[in-house]
A and B are shown apart, each in its own frame.
Chain A
């Protein structure tokens, strides 16, 4: 029997905070987490800014992860496990009371961040730190979960795919609880040099907080961010039986592959539009029900142009009535973590009735004419939201979230 799937716990670590509350407060205030890079000397690179997680994260993770286990994890993996522990605590789950064989983990993992920035790697720990299944494995180990536990890599759409797989596992009756999400950091010399070579990153270094400007005329590429987002998904009846709070419902998803280009999105946003259409169909949602779209909104020339075209294609004349905003204007692009982080922001937007803004929207692009919630958040009581994630290689995901009502 098909089940309704709800979000009962969330953990968010980003450049704007180490808790849900701190992140949400800063997002609603339209703050930027982008600063000069401190992880390494970026002086010789074209891009010298990024959205780094605050140093206080180290103490937080030390309090939540045993030293022995932490020594076998990269900083990115520690971000994931820390966010997972926060999410599970938030959900109020006692796994001793559940059938652990029906509790799973799906994480979006592009890489574990075992780069030159990871200075304390020992020979014995190298393999564990590099294993791309390490994040789901450590979460399953932490709670002795015996349901399916795996990672999925679809580049920048990875953790949106993880949410989609977790959703499907519960909906189809394969699991009662699935911990989903992702973590990422590519703030290291090699990755930034590589993305600079693709002209994908902003080089507007001064001032850093103005570098990420999705949908603006002067956008010049994305800004790398880092962080982790983890959600606890469970069947609605299961959550009600536990008498736990519910943030929002996952109503459906659309997953597609463009089969077009390793980097560029399909012309005119055709692939993106198909993904949006599929998600709406999958969720059984009418177009006029959509009250907000959390855009992929990278601040690159092509993504923002094509995503806008895709929204226009799908919603027609109604497109301009739908608020569309980019969290990446504040948090940078957190790559494998982006889909989960933005799903969390979308869930909070639904629950709190507040649209998060697109900051640095100072010079509108005349070709891009949607309501991008410019610079300031605003109140809006809406029932359905979409969140888009599009990855290099043509991996597209759109998640559909609905306001939960008792």
Chain B
């Protein structure tokens, strides 16, 4: 469990924005927190998994995919802003992610 600093928050935002701009071949400046991953970027669910792998390595996270899966079912992600918020929660809570709802 790691506290979310401004540095981490900015890093996550930068990685997510760059990832989608690169993968979806769109201008970085066209992405904002309200951008829809499916409708605006033609993205796919696999991108979420790829980002998790990136953050698992970067922050050496201890979290199982099934935990994230259970959380995501209750808290579906549609926009870039929502995705960043979820990635921050994952970094902060790791395998205790589901305890947020308790």
> What residues make up the interface of A, taking CB atoms closer than 8 Å to B?
66-68, 71-72, 122, 124
The distance from the CB of B81 to the nearest CB of chain A, in whole angstroms, is: 21
The distance from the CB of B94 to the nearest CB of chain A, in whole angstroms, is: 21
> Contacts A66-B25, A67-B25, A68-B23; is A124 near B46 (CB within 8 Å)?
yes
The distance from the CB of B83 to the nearest CB of chain A, in whole angstroms, is: 16
With CB as the reference atom, state the residue of chain B lying closest to A123. B53
Q: B1 contacts the other chain (Cβ, under 8 Å)?
A: no
Contacts A66-B42, A68-B23, A124-B50 supplied; 6 other A-B pairs, CB < 8 Å: A66-B25, A67-B22, A68-B25, A68-B42, A68-B44, A68-B47
The distance from the CB of A359 to the nearest CB of chain B, in whole angstroms, is: 42
With CB as the reference atom, state the residue of chain A lying closest to B53. A124
Q: Size band of the B side of the interface?
A: 10 to 19
With CB as the reference atom, state the residue of chain B lying closest to A125. B46
Query: What is the predominant secondary structure among interface residues of chain B facing chain A?
Result: helix
Contact with A along B44-77 (1 / 0, CB 8 A): 1011011001000000000000000000000000
> Bound state CA distance, A71 and B49, in angstroms?
15
Contacts of A71 in B (CB 8 A): 23
> Bound state CA distance, A124 and B44, in angstroms?
12
The distance from the CB of A128 to the nearest CB of chain B, in whole angstroms, is: 8
> Bound state CA distance, A341 and B53, in angstroms?
41
- The contact of A67 among B23, B43, B46, B50, by CB within 8 Å, is B23
The distance from the CB of A140 to the nearest CB of chain B, in whole angstroms, is: 15
Contacts of A124 in B (CB 8 A): 46, 49-50, 53
Q: B24 contacts the other chain (Cβ, under 8 Å)?
A: yes
The distance from the CB of B2 to the nearest CB of chain A, in whole angstroms, is: 25
